Structure 1
């Protein structure tokens, strides 16, 4: 009689090895780097049993024999059978020697300036190509965004996740949410479901590429610590980009509009049109301010402030006033 043993059970973050001689299981854990590479496999009983470094495009190298497990670069399985040496990226096979996928990107029309066979837009140090069908920002930014979502939605933030293509999704329940939370989520859902991709990046600066292949440098300080660049307002761009400085100043100066701002003609008798005010702010509320620019692009920009203030109420911050670039007379977003 032939006896077949289940030798390995895969679980989140590692796997369980089965030893038929002892009839016991051994937990083995992946230790990953910031882009999801499995760098170390740590056994609960034997210590480090596999270690790997990687060249940028995924070829592993190590002084320790790597015969324990084939889930390596970006957490994907390296198929070595019959000398194939390709990574199974879910929807496409990837050849780390050629640095190319073996088939075209099914979403290549979203990225006309990219080779449809390229991996991570030819920049694996910055991007991750999760399932071979889209480009997503590296996982280092997800922690910051998750923290912001948690601050606004509390326990409901567990409903947020990232799709196989690295896109933010929400599949949780809204039952019990406050009115402000539901309204904020409705706006966020609009952005998540748009055909135009919105990239959220954290840092003082960021580089994006236009349709002609030119590099554009974004500076968060131009918007007081955060900027939103919209494809609808820039004919050379195909995607939106939100850049947020994680060390944004906690105090900001705005020039709030007064009732006189809306009165014509502009004469001294009407009184001052602007009043200088100082507001408290942080990464969490400013993130949604920039998302508001995506939601209300081409519309009166007082809507951005209304959306922003719902988040500020949730965070127990004082409302932000309408200002010179965010009022009902302005329809083109300015940061």
Structure 2
């Protein structure tokens, strides 16, 4: 309940609020921004359009109707400072930067402790000013496609468009892929999953580098089958640089996470089956092994000639890919 001058002003409810005996509802976009407020009769009470970092367009209407706007956060206009309340910190949309340092700054040493969403608010959200998670229906769909129809019902976004921990932990399953996802979700390491055709990483000298992700269209001649699943192949015959798991610390590959989080980037050009299969490789193989061991060597491939002798990792990857293929073919 919101009081002003000792008088009840507004009652906040899920998805909107009550004011003067009338219900008002938020209409949000995919980033959780309140784009419109409509009343119980469907009449528009407020329209707000945003620049990427949260500043409102001049064309917005009835701006003072209610203050919950960008990312659903409250806009504080006192003293004309125009800051959004992100619980842990205040965001100044004019700069745009947080007004205080990140309480988790030690986890992101390659970024300014005042920066908002890695300077990419079109790709990321920051629900409380602390941790950043990737968003996007395509990334969620990719994860769901590794699971059975029953298990995938329990993998959904919460109101902040993060994987709903309460929902996924409410479900019991014998599935290896569901168990792997549950372990990743409950890990104390931040894990980001995204789709793209390039990525940034930190090399072993501490420099930030960029790399493009190549793509080769499907060729049935080189396709895996359900009876012959390989580490780096797909049942579609697609190939190229299909995905990567950037892990904290330094590894033989020289491609490391720029902070203490795990970043899983999958090639956005892949088909839905290939995305799911290769996500199984990166997330349920490399990322999960690192979560369990905190060891870069054990989390990576170890080749003797053309043979990978890291048998525990190979088994994790192949088991996960086989389950994903079975689940996708059973759709």
TM-score (norm 2): 0.69
Q: Tell me, yes or no, if structure 1 residue 74 matches structure 2 residue 71.
A: yes
Unaligned 5+ residue runs, structure 2?
Answer: 1-5, 217-231, 233-238, 290-298, 301-309
Please give the residue correspondences for 1:98-247 in structure 2 after superposition, counting only pairs within 5 Å. 98-137=95-134, 139=135, 141-142=136-137, 144-146=139-141, 148-149=143-144, 152-160=147-155, 168=163, 170-171=165-166, 172-175=169-172, 177=173, 179=174, 181=175, 183-194=176-187, 196-203=189-196, 205-210=197-202, 212-219=206-213, 221=215, 224=239, 226-231=242-247, 233=251, 234-235=253-254, 237-238=256-257, 239-245=261-267
Please say if residues 220 and 227 of structure 1, whose CA atoms lie closer than 8 Å, have aligned partners that are also in contact: no
**8 Å contact 1:70–1:77 — kept in the other structure?**
yes
Residue pair 2:26, 2:36 contacting (<8 A) in 1 also: yes
User: Residue 168 of structure 1: CA displacement?
Assistant: 3.7
Task: Assess, with a 3 A threshold, how the Cα gap between structure 1 residues 161 and 107 changes in structure 2: closer, same or farther.
Answer: farther
CA deviation digits over 1:32-71, x for unaligned, max 9? 2332221222223362221122233222133323111111
Q: Secondary structure at the match of 1:109?
A: helix
In structure 2, distance between residues paired with 1:192 and 1:229: 16
Rg: which structure is higher?
Answer: 1
CA offset at residue 207 of structure 1? 2.5
Deviations 1:170-201 (A, max 9, x none): 333344x3x3x2x2233223333445543211
Aligned position for 1:331: none
- Report the counterpart of residue 22 of structure 1 in structure 2: none
Deviation at 1:236, TM superposition (A): 5.3
* Count of aligned pairs between the two proteins: 271
Q: Tell me if structure 2 keeps the 8 A contact 1:133–1:165.
A: no
- The Cα RMSD (Å) is 3.2
Q: Distance in 2 between matches of 1:147 and 1:29?
A: 31
